Structure formats: structure tokens, C-alpha cells
Chains A and B, each alone.
Chain A
Amino acid sequence: MKPHGAVSSNLLRLDPEVETERITSWIRETVFHALRRKGAVIAVSGGIDSSVVAYLCARALGNERIQLLFMPEADSSPHSLQLGRMVADALNAKSVLEDISPILDGAGCYQRRDDSIRLVVPEYGSEYKCKIVLPGLLDAGRYAIFSVVVQSPDGKTTKVRLTPDAYLGIVAATNFKQRTRKMMEYYYADLLQYAVAGTPNLLEYDQGFFVKNGDGAADFKPIAHLYKSQVYQLAAYLGVPEDILRRPPTTDTYTLEQSQEEFYFTLPYEQMDLCLYGKDHGISTSDLARASGMTEDLIERAYHMIEAKRKVAKYLHAPSLTMD
């Protein structure tokens, strides 16, 4: 659905050249002066956000001052690594492959996750595939409650609503992945005296789509002020490979393909961007509906959801609290 009309036609459009200059100046100032580090470590997932951050850091600091990391694990799509390598090749940057599966195995990540799934799908075994999903935002006004989708070795797919124990167990176990990656990023940051670049965009940052002390942790976050659609505009300007631009946003966390929409946002990112912008700029649901082509009902629900997710995100954003 393309936005149209007076309110939305230019809502999220930016001048990529000006914005790139603004961000790269900020990265230089932040890394070299505020943080006094010699370069930046960037975990490259093969997705749009980390690719753009890598391109921006290379422009800002020089390609010899960035260290790219590929950190696949047993459940990662092999395609992600291919895309990540494209970025390293295009930037002629240092890159390291760190398979984090043994660390995750040692921490019991896979075992704990599978045990939690078996609370609701007793026959679930190591040959099965899985993902967890939310209903769509317009799904009869239902609460956004997670279900697990499992696929047996013979290809049969089953969807089961999660109990609290199963849901929390799956999330707690899979969060090892983001936290292990961050541990590895800081290993290289310590080794090279570099700063760790975070890769969330505004939608993810604002709505809490990150793991606390996992992908939510970083020394600087150069695109956390950009809507996802703006990240795409920058990516096109910076020359990020087409294959990455065309890849639908994915979590790459579960063995079944899982979009960010079904895992967290319940709406395509283009619509979520518009709703977030509309809510934060006091645009009424009727004005945004007229301009965007979305229904008022959908926007109303999205505004509610944004507020609800912000409440949950407060804990994720909170630093360690101390007494006065």
C-alpha cells in the first residue's frame, strides 16, 4: 500500500545525501572523540539495518577502521551469511566468521527452547522446525498472543497457542543468541580498541524490538532515529546490494522462516512507520487514513499497540538503577 495525499506523500522522505553527511559526521565525532575508540565493530546479519550501519561506518571512519562480524548459528539461514559477505566484499572491509552454535549449545539454548516447546507440543523433536507468531493486527480485534508453529520432519505444520511457561521459556532461551553475539562483538571491541555499533532503526528502538543486553546493547546507534523506510532510502543511496534491499525483513532466529511482522509488529513496516509517525506528530486517525489508504480502525489499533509496546519497552530501555 503506497502512501498518498497531502499528509503522507513526503512524510518519511529524506535527503539521503544530507542525512548521510549528518550521520557520518556524528559517527566520527562519537567514535573518535566522545568514545575515544579507534574504529567500529559491526555485526552484519545480512539484513538492511546492519548493512546500512556498515556502509555508514566505512564512510565515516574508513574501511580499514571497521571490523565486520558474521555470527551464524545452527538455526540461521545460509543466505544471511552470503548477504553479509557481499557487504564485506563491497566495502573491502575486515571480516571474521564466528559460528556461535557451540556457545549456544553449551549454554543449553537449543535444549531449553525445545523443552519449552514440548510443554505445548509434546512430540516436538530435534528434527522439527519452529517459529513463534502473533496474530495480525486486524485479526478480529484479538489480543496479540503468541502461538508456536511447528513443522514435523514429514512437513506437517501445526500451530498451538502458547502457555505462559512455554512462551517465556522459548523467549528466554532464544535470547541467548542475541546476547552471545553481543559478547562476541565486545571481544573484538576490546581486542581492537573499537566501539560497538548498534543497528536498530527507530521502529525497533522505539517499540522495544530488541533483547536487553543483547542486540539492544551498543556504544553508539547511528540509525536509531530513522524510520525503517528511511533506512531503505539510505541503503539505496549508499549502494547496498540489491539482494539485501529486496530481502523481506526477517528475524533469522527460528528454524522456520519468520517475518518481523508475524513476530512483533503485526503490520508491514511501511504501515508501522506511518502509524508511528502519525501518532508522534499528532496526526488524527482520519487524516492518516485519508492520506495513507489504511482504514481508521487499523490506525486506531496501531496507535493503541504502539502505546502498549512502549510501556513494555520502558524496562528494556532502563539502565541499571541506583540509589541517590
Chain B
Amino acid sequence: MLQTIRKFVIDNYLFGEEGKLGDEDSFMETGIIDSTGILELVRFLETTYGIKVTDEELIPDNLDSVSKIASFILMKQSVSSQTAQEHSFRSSGEPRP
């Protein structure tokens, strides 16, 4: 996942020039992603990982570096799978007509 995200960032914002992008480097501090870039990043995450990023989640804590994005995706996927399991449990536990 880290590699996929890093590749997206390098391809889209560093024009394919790898340079010195570290997984912890802040996009804000290095200035490599502007507000249009964040829109592109969100679309990439939503289509690649099948998640929905809410307005409240559009914060640097979730999206400001390669590693923060990876942690955020893992958290979203874990919540999503937990919700699916609970839904499945509730469905199977319901009395049949």
C-alpha cells in the first residue's frame, strides 16, 4: 500500500521525479500538493481502496504524508470490515419469518 500511494504522489505531483520523498515527509511543509492536488488524492484513494472520505476526514492528520495516508486507509478499511461483520451478524441473527 505504501508503494502504491508513494507512486501516485510521485507520478502526479513530482512529475515522476522520485527525488527525496520520504514516507513521513509533510506534503504541506514541502508544498508538493495544493488544494486541487488534495481533490485528486481523495479521488485516487476512493477509487483505489473503495472507501468514502468524508468532509470531516479531510485533515492533515489523515492525508499529509504517505505514511499518514496508509494509516488512514487501514483504519477506514478496518472500520468498514467491522461494520460489514456486524451487519452480517445482525442479519443472520434475525428470526426467520
Contacts and interface: CB of A to CB of B under 8 A. Distances in A.
Contacts of A144: 35
A164 B40 contact: yes
Interface size class of A (residues with CB under 8 A): 10 to 19
B17 interface: no
Interface in B35-60: 35-36, 38-40, 42-43, 55-56, 58-60
26 contacts: A135-B55, A141-B59, A141-B60, A142-B55, A142-B56, A142-B58, A142-B59, A143-B35, A143-B59, A143-B63, A145-B38, A145-B58, A146-B35, A161-B55, A163-B39, A163-B43, A164-B39, A164-B40, A164-B43, A167-B36, A168-B36, A308-B28, A308-B31, A308-B34, A308-B35, A311-B31
Contacts of A164: 36, 39-40, 43
A190 to B, nearest CB: 35
Contacts of B28: 304, 308
A162 interface: yes
A323 interface: no
Interface of A: 135, 140-146, 161-164, 167-168, 304, 307-308, 311-312
A140 B58 CA distance: 9
A162 B39 contact: yes
Contact of B60 (A135, A143, A307, A312): A143
Nearest to B32: A311
Nearest to A304: B28
Contacts of B58: 142-143, 145
A143 B36 contact: no
Contacts of A307: 31
Given A140-B59, A142-B56, A311 B43 contact: no
A146 B59 CA distance: 14
A138 to B, nearest CB: 13
Contacts of B63: 143
A163 B46 CA distance: 11
Contacts of B38: 143, 145
A84 B8 CA distance: 49
Most buried by A among B36, B39, B59, B60: B39
A246 B40 CA distance: 39
A145 B39 contact: yes
Contacts of A304: 28
Contacts of B35: 143-146, 308
Contacts of B36: 164, 167-168
B60 to A, nearest CB: 7
